């Protein structure tokens, strides 16, 4: 039986308290979304339905998947993609781009300082115990001087737009940030679905990212060579981001390797096993957490890493991106101090604001949080993927009580923030057009130079009213267009 075609009534597009990225007051398009909405209005429901089906078929044909862990099983799922793109003004993006590059420079100064003289602690800009209590400081990294003073070469910062129209940084992902492959694939899908619209808008391309990533990695090679040997180190096919590991290796022309494919020689250099024999490796783009990188240095039961790898890195025989120890800055308490880092290290004012954050390890702030759990979002300081978050206004009384108990048991392990009224964007859910909440993850590179993606990965909560955008918890994604004003 043929599926009923979509019926879209743009006049009935619902209004919410959140700012909508494409539709303004009275149902009018926000600039520069006018051409997009006019184009979509000219398509009847059947045509929109057919284009969405074409996108779904392309996702299956291209094998674009992500892995969800469920009850001990690894389940590959088709990448959830909404065909209606999100549009950002180029003038606004230039400011965001500068702000993200500024932020990563300061974070790298901070990491380098922590593993050397720790001036920022001495000058009481950040309490030392706040950083050291996070559990991400690595003694083995003290005194190491990576190329260009850069520890975090790849950063994915999550941005949200509040009802005031301002973009805020929600968090910085520095250890093993993921999602950029889906940003690139989303653009490829949109070219199949709306080729005429992309041409009319002259959307800023995103496909140059793999080349920019290669150049960043090449710039930190310990050997001067036009063609350094770069590998992508993956935990293996069962990792949730394995699709991305394989995608980036293929796009860069790098080798995709697992720990067993590498060894550290008697000369403390890292070698890759090939059918032609051992080949020296210059740069490792690692997608393996610190704890599993080297069983001689960290977890002795790890089968994912390479024995002796930390020794080779400390001696400067191989470069690793992101560098071990970077997680010392990837913590939701440390995040709140980034504006202070920018002022301290760069003598500049932050170009992008943080979301206000309450520290549960501070007695007065903890009391405020416990008294206002029904109004706040509470986050574990060292989790990712949206896990462990309590959204107070929608949480049950039992959930808030359990959260309060967890905060009292481990104050340093939690922060709280006011509920940000995440902006929305029109999204096709079934046969309806619904304003769904979105965030944005741009990617910033730093090596010998800096680079920021044009836009990034827009994640969308594909359930009515939901604020959860993570794909592992039911979220999806949209293509993100940066266009001239």
Domain ranges (residues) in the chain: 91-171+201-346, 358-418
The contacts of residue 280 (CB under 8 Å, 6+ apart) are: 229, 269, 270, 271, 272
Provide the pLDDT for residue 199: 81
Provide the pLDDT for residue 429: 87
* Model confidence pLDDT, tens digit, residues 269-314: 999 999 999 999 999 999 999 999 999 999 999 999 999 999 999 9
Provide the pLDDT for residue 1: 36
Assign domain 91-171+201-346 one CATH number from 3.40.50.11290, 3.20.20.140, 3.40.190.10, 3.40.50.300: 3.40.50.11290
pLDDT band at 469 (very low <50, low <70, confident <90, very high): confident
* Model confidence pLDDT, tens digit, residues 132-189: 877 899 999 999 999 999 999 999 999 999 998 999 999 999 988 999 999 999 999 9
Most confident of 63-67, 98-102, 417-421: 98-102
For 407, phi then psi, to 5°, come to -65, -45
The alpha-carbon radius of gyration of the chain (Å, integer) is 23
The contacts of residue 378 (CB under 8 Å, 6+ apart) are: 369, 389, 390, 392, 403, 407, 414, 415, 416
Provide the pLDDT for residue 69: 55
Token output for 367: 């009391």
The contacts of residue 95 (CB under 8 Å, 6+ apart) are: 351
pLDDT band at 9 (very low <50, low <70, confident <90, very high): low
Rounded distance between C-alpha atoms, residue 59 and residue 186, angstroms: 9
Token output for 169: 């940084």
State the residue for tokens 């860069």.
252
Cβ proximity of 304 and 295 under 8 Å: no
pLDDT band at 37 (very low <50, low <70, confident <90, very high): confident
What is the DSSP annotation of 233-268?
E---TTSTTHHHHHHHHHHHTPEEE-GGGEEE-TTS
pTM above 0.85, yes or no: yes
Lowest-pLDDT range, 11-15, 209-213, 226-230, 334-338? Answer: 11-15
Mean pLDDT of 463-485: 86
CA angle 379, 387, 75 (to 5 degrees): 170
Please tell me the CATH code under which domain 358-418 is placed: 3.30.1490.270
Going by C-alpha positions, the residue among 133, 139, 173 that lies closest to residue 335 is 173
Rounded distance between C-alpha atoms, residue 36 and residue 22, angstroms: 9
Token output for 301: 């039961």
């Amino acid at each position: 039986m043929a599926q009923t075609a979509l019926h879209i009534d743009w006049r009935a597009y619902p209004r919410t308290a959140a700012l909508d990225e494409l539709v303004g007051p009275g149902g009018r398009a926000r600039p520069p979304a006018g051409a997009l909405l006019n184009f979509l209005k000219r398509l009847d429901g059947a045509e929109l339905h057919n284009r969405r089906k074409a996108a779904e078929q392309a996702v299956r044909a291209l094998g674009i998947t992500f892995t969800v862990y469920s009850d001990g099983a690894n389940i590959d799922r088709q990448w959830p993609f909404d065909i209606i793109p999100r549009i950002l003004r180029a003038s606004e993006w230039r400011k965001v781009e500068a702000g993200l590059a500024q932020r990563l420079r300061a974070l790298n100064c901070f990491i380098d300082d922590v593993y050397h003289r720790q001036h920022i602690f001495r000058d009481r800009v950040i309490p030392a115990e706040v950083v050291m209590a996070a559990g991400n400081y690595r003694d083995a990294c003290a005194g190491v001087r990576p190329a260009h003073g850069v520890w975090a070469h790849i950063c994915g910062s999550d941005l949200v737009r509040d009802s005031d129209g301002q973009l805020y940084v929600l968090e910085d992902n520095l250890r093993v940030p993921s999602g950029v492959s889906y940003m690139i694939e989303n653009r490829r899908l949109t070219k199949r679905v709306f080729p005429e619209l992309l041409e009319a808008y002259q959307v800023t391309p995103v496909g140059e990212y793999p080349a920019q990533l290669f150049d960043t990695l090449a710039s930190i090679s310990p050997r001067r060579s036009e063609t350094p040997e770069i590998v992508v180190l993956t935990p293996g096919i069962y990792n949730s981001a394995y699709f991305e590991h394989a995608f980036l290796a293929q796009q860069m022309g790098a080798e995709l390797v697992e720990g067993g494919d590498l060894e550290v020689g008697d000369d403390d250099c890292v070698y890759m096993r090939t059918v032609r024999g051992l080949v020296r490796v210059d740069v490792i783009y690692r997608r393996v957490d610190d704890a599993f990188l080297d069983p001689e240095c960290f977890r002795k039961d790890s089968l994912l890493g390479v024995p002796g790898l930390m020794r080779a890195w400390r001696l400067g025989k191989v470069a690793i991106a992101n560098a071990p120890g970077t997680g010392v800055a990837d913590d939701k308490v440390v995040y709140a101090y980034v504006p202070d880092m920018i002022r301290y290290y760069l003598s500049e004012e932050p170009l992008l604001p943080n979301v206000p954050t309450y520290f549960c390890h501070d007695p007065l702030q903890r009391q405020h949080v416990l008294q206002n759990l029904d109004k706040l979002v509470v986050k574990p300081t060292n989790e990712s993927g949206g896990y462990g978050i309590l959204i107070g206004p929608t949480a049950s009384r039992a959930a808030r009580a359990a959260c309060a108990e967890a905060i009292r048991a481990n104050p340093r392990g939690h922060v709280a923030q006011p509920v940000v009224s995440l902006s929305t964007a029109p999204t096709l859910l079934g046969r309806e057009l619904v304003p769904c909440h979105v965030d944005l993850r741009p990617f910033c590179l730093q090596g010998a130079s800096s680079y920021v993606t044009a836009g990034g990965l827009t994640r969308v909560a594909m359930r009515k009213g939901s604020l959860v955008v993570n794909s592992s918890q039911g979220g999806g994604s949209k293509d993100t267009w940066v266009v001239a004003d």
